[in-house]
Structure 1
Amino acid sequence: MSITRLHPGPRMSQAVIHNGTVYLAGQVGTPGADVASQTRDCLDAIDALLEEAGTNKSKLLQVIIWLADMADFQDMNAVYDAWVDPANPAARACGEAKLATPDYKVEFIVTAAV
């Protein structure tokens, strides 16, 4: 079985494709922007990586969302709900976590079928 790595770097790849599944690295938005803007940035990056991997959001399997502050849950969901394919929603989890820097408000981790 082959493994394809998209945009590999010294620490991680932005996506790894194996056995019909694509695993995306955590996607974050523009540091310092509000949570809605960062969510849009994340979802745009997810769309682009999924397309490069030969798939799209209709084939999402799992979405894990980390918020720096659960008080941002509604603002993040307003953007996410407008983006997600309502006919093909993924299994999803959302929690609060200290992110890599205080400038990040949200991070998305996505797994999809190819």
Structure 2
Amino acid sequence: MSDIQRIQSTDRMSRIVKHNGTVYLCGQTAGEADWDIGRQTAECLKKVENLLADAGSSSDRILSVTIYIRDMKDFAAMNAVWDEWVKDLPKPARACVEARMARPEILVEMTVVAAESP
């Protein structure tokens, strides 16, 4: 059985967990009060890229993404940013659900599962 590696841990959680060649990222948000869904989506994706690099992976190794969106009225605007970001990448499995967020300024949150780079 492989060891579980926890990276960037706090008393509450780890931002990255690695096990058996798989990387799990905690939920990524970018909830500035004056940012629209497009800006928040772009900032979340930057955070995902940075965490994957810290974990020894990359965006082309993403297996699945779950996107939580505060209001489905923002679905098309979020997808416009997502589609541009993912256009040259292998397409991961993806789910998108409407969800109540921890703070009202958060419009989108993403959790990611990826494979480590070989």
Quickly name the TM-score band, shorter chain normalised.
over 0.9
> Is this contact kept in 2: 1:30–1:38, CA < 8 A?
yes
Q: Which residue of 1 aligns with 2:32?
A: 31
Q: Which residue of 1 aligns with 2:9?
A: 8
Query: Unaligned regions of 5+ residues in structure 1, if any?
Result: none
Q: What is the rounded CA distance, in whole Å, between the counterparts of 1:63 and 1:86 in structure 2?
A: 16
Q: Which residue of 2 aligns with 1:81?
A: 83
Offset of 1:86 from its aligned partner? 4.1
What's the secondary structure of 1:23's corresponding residue?
Answer: strand
Q: Deviations over 1:52-88 (max 9, x none)?
A: 1111111111100000000000111111111115451
Offset of 1:21 from its aligned partner? 0.2
Q: What is the rounded CA distance, in whole Å, between the counterparts of 1:87 and 1:23 in structure 2?
A: 19
> Is this contact kept in 2: 1:8–1:14, CA < 8 A?
yes
Residue correspondence of structure 1 range 82-97 to structure 2 within 5 A? 82-97=84-99
Aligned residue type for 1:30 = G
Q: What is the rounded CA distance, in whole Å, between the counterparts of 2:42 and 2:6 in structure 1?
A: 24
Residue correspondence of structure 1 range 31-110 to structure 2 within 5 A? 31-32=32-33, 33-110=35-112
Aligned residue type for 1:6 = I
Work out the number of aligned pairs and report it. Answer: 114
Offset of 1:6 from its aligned partner? 1.5
Q: Deviations over 1:16-39 (max 9, x none)?
A: 011000000000013211111110
> Identity of paired residues, percent?
45
Superposition TM-score, scaled by structure 1 size: 0.95
Query: Unaligned regions of 5+ residues in structure 2, if any?
Result: none
Residues 1:91 and 1:72: Cα distance change in structure 2 (over 3 Å): same
Give me the CA root mean square deviation: 1.1
